[in-house]
Amino acid sequence: MPYHSGRHTLQIPGPTNVPDRILHAIANPTIDHRGPDAAALTRTCLAGMKKIFQTEAEVMIFPGSGTGAWESAVVNTLNAGDKVIAFDGGQFATLWVKTARNFGIDVEFLGGDWHHGANAEELAARLQKDKQHEIRAVFAVHNETSTGVTSNIAALRRAMDAENHPALLMVDTVSSLASIDYRHDEWGVDVTIAGSQKGLMLPPGLAFNAVSAKAAEASKHSTLPKNYWRWDDVRVQNQNGFYPYTPATNLLYGLREAVKMIEEEGLPNVFARHKRLSEATRRAVRAWGLEIFARNPAEYSPSATAIQMPDGHSEVDFRAVVLKNFNMSLGAGLGKLAGKVFRIGHLGSMNELMLAGALCGVEMGFELAGVPHRKGGVAEAMAYLTASAAA
């Protein structure tokens, strides 16, 4: 790519923009990971992450990606042959299930309509048939990044409780944590899975599990092979601020700063900002005359919007035009949506003018790429952002 002046516009739904404050924090000199400064750093990060997960339960931090956090949840709690329910809601749900199946877990997929989130009634009906309580866990993706659809986790918990079902509830919050209201304790989640590179505004490289007492108990009876992800090893070390291996020290500096920034803004304000930017995006999409992939407004994602391309037009070509002309990256169509949808990320370190610039790039890109649309999407977004601005 030839040099483009100005900043690249990173508008994918993660990894997200890393603010200068966090970049500077990461640039601190690397320290002895077995020394007192490292111990204090880890303890501060663990305490901070409890607030972000809205939990009193234990949190573990691993050097790793979201896929590692899935694997950690699976290998620490389940056994080969265990039955698990998951919802076929998108590419990340599919990949999580693949992870579990690779460990011999017997996963049953419910749903299958990627336009909608996990269906609590369907779950209740399935659990009702499980008189022997053979189902050991329910997997749900809070925000399916490939489709821009959220799932109602509290409703899933209610469905499980209504059936008095003892399965563990495991939730992927890779693209919702610190962007969309998420409550590990209040919603009775047993294992929450997260990564650093989205709402937390960090580069990729940290993976998280928040673990309920029930999941911790299940981990005592899990016989799946594990080493790197072993909760009992990590727990013992973490209590003193250490790890069973070399942690990603500089990312922990970044994490400490990220938590500080989120606390300064206030979690409720962070969630409200994401909602507002996503609403502006959807208004632009409707004005362009294009279709939002998510069908149920109650499930619209505050962190990413997936937009259907008009028939006969590929998102791959469109995104290439936008990248070449305006130096902006938009999210690709993933899995069975490849070629058919593109995604606008509006999560993490994002504000009105960054979003407005991105929407300008999309509208100009439609014109240049010959994608049929109506003009005026940016104007609609601006009108909403103006009308909803704080007085």
Closest by Cα among 181, 265, 223, 195 to 81: 223
Which span (61-69, 244-252, 286-294, 355-363) binds ligand PLP, by CB under 6 A?
Answer: 61-69
Place of tokens 């699976």: 74
Q: Decide if 186 contacts 217 (C-beta within 8 A).
A: no
172, 315, 363, 380: which one contacts ligand PLP (CB under 6 A)?
A: 172
Which span (65-73, 247-255, 352-360, 381-389) binds ligand PLP, by CB under 6 A?
Answer: 65-73
- Residue 139 half-sphere exposure, CB side, CA atoms within 13 Å? 35
C-beta of 294: minimal distance to ligand PLP in Å?
14
C-beta of 52: minimal distance to ligand PLP in Å?
16
Q: Judged by CB, which is closer to ligand PLP: 17, or 326? A: 17
Ordered DSSP codes for 206-244: EEEEEE-HHHHHHHTT--S--STT-HHHHHHHHTTT--S
Q: 169: part of which helix (H) or strand (E)? A: strand 168-172
Phi, psi of 87 (to 5 degrees): -115, 125
Exposure letters 179-214 (e unless 16+ CB within 10 A, then b): bbbbebeebbbbbbbbbbbbbbbbbebbbbbbbbeb
Q: Is residue 66 a contact point for ligand PLP (CB under 6 A)?
A: yes
15 prior amide bond cis, ω within 30: yes
Which span (97-105, 116-124, 129-137, 169-177) binds ligand PLP, by CB under 6 A?
Answer: 169-177
Q: Is residue 175 a contact point for ligand PLP (CB under 6 A)?
A: yes
Exposure letters 51-73 (e unless 16+ CB within 10 A, then b): ebbbbebbbbbbbbbbbbbbbbb
Q: Judged by CB, which is closer to ligand PLP: 92, or 288? A: 92
Which span (62-70, 157-165, 217-225, 290-298) binds ligand PLP, by CB under 6 A?
Answer: 62-70
- Residue 327 half-sphere exposure, CB side, CA atoms within 13 Å? 9
Q: What is the 3-state secondary structure (H, E, C) of 175-215?
A: CCCCCCCCCCCCCCCCEEEEECCCCCCCCCCEEEEEECHHH
Which span (2-10, 126-134, 167-175, 346-354) binds ligand PLP, by CB under 6 A?
Answer: 167-175
100, 174, 287, 341: which one contacts ligand PLP (CB under 6 A)?
A: 174
C-beta of 258: minimal distance to ligand PLP in Å?
16
Q: Is residue 325 a contact point for ligand PLP (CB under 6 A)?
A: no
Q: Is residue 145 a contact point for ligand PLP (CB under 6 A)?
A: yes
Q: Is residue 92 a contact point for ligand PLP (CB under 6 A)?
A: yes
What residue number has its CB nearest to ligand PLP? 66
Binding mask 67-86 for ligand PLP (x = CB under 6 A): x-------------------
Q: Judged by CB, which is closer to ligand PLP: 170, or 285? A: 170
C-beta of 319: minimal distance to ligand PLP in Å?
17
11, 12, 14, 313: which one contacts ligand PLP (CB under 6 A)?
A: 14
SS3 call for 346: coil
Binding site for ligand PLP (CB under 6 A): 14, 65-67, 92, 141, 145, 172, 174-175, 195, 204
